[in-house]
Amino acid sequence: MDAPAGNASTRPLWVFGYGSLMWNPGFATPETQAARLQGWHRAFCIYSEHYRGTPERPGLMLGLLPGGSCRGLAHRLPDAAYDEVRRYLIHREIDNDGVYVETVRPIRLDNGRVVPSLVYLADRSHRQFAGKLPEAEAVRLIRQGRGATGTSFDYVLNTVAHLGELGLNDRPLERLARTAAGGTGS
């Protein structure tokens, strides 16, 4: 069950990034740590019609789907600007496309602490939810997607690069990046 995100006594002090939130949180964070979210995995499962594509030529974006685990970065929310940062995150992750659902889930920081964190899950009932696509279709959408914040292809490359900087491998994502770049994928 989801915990309330607005109550000051239970408000989450962290946000979990598994895609662009890793390298571009959009706010000054007092602390960032590598972290793991258990029970969810990163997947290109969202048609992007704003950030990484258009309604006429959608791209693909990452979402979190049930099962497995996901390594990413946790950013601590700043105390002094907490409400401002929360409004920013809601606008960024929910208002533009409405394809993410905000929830609070426990994450394990690299220092071993388990903390409640804001997490943005793919809304599987949303019209832009793509689900698991065949690789060829995912590659086609990644190659064509170009939106307000860049291309789907750059998004894939940035995610792979930042995971690599953390010493993390996401083999399906790496394969998708190679295939989208014109490689064999193996």
pLDDT at 186 over 60: no
Q: Residue 129 carries which DSSP code?
A: B
* The predicted structure's pLDDT at residue 94: 87
> pLDDT for 63-101, tens place per residue?
999 999 999 999 999 999 999 999 999 998 887 678 899
Q: How many CB atoms lie within 10 A of CB 67?
A: 10
Query: Which residue ranges make up each domain of the chain?
Result: 14-180
How far from chain centre, in Å, is Cα 4? 20
Strand, coil or helix: what is 1? coil
> pLDDT for 104-162, tens place per residue?
999 999 999 999 999 999 999 999 999 999 999 999 999 999 999 899 999 999 999 98
pLDDT at 19 over 50: yes
Q: Residue 72 carries which DSSP code?
A: E
* The predicted structure's pLDDT at residue 96: 66
What CATH class does 14-180 carry? alpha beta
How far apart are alpha carbons 117 and 99 in whole angstroms?
A: 19
* The predicted structure's pLDDT at residue 9: 54
How far apart are alpha carbons 166 and 117 in whole angstroms?
A: 20
How far apart are alpha carbons 116 and 17 in whole angstroms?
A: 13
How far apart are alpha carbons 173 and 175 in whole angstroms?
A: 5
* The predicted structure's pLDDT at residue 82: 96
Q: Is residue 93 among the annotated active site residues?
A: yes
Residue pair 41/62 in contact by the 8 Å Cβ criterion: no
Residue 162's H or E segment, with its range, is helix 152-165
Which one of 31, 93, 102, 135 is the catalytic residue? 93
Q: Is 112 left (phi over 0), alpha (psi -120 to 50) or beta?
A: left
Residue with tokens 């809304």: 123
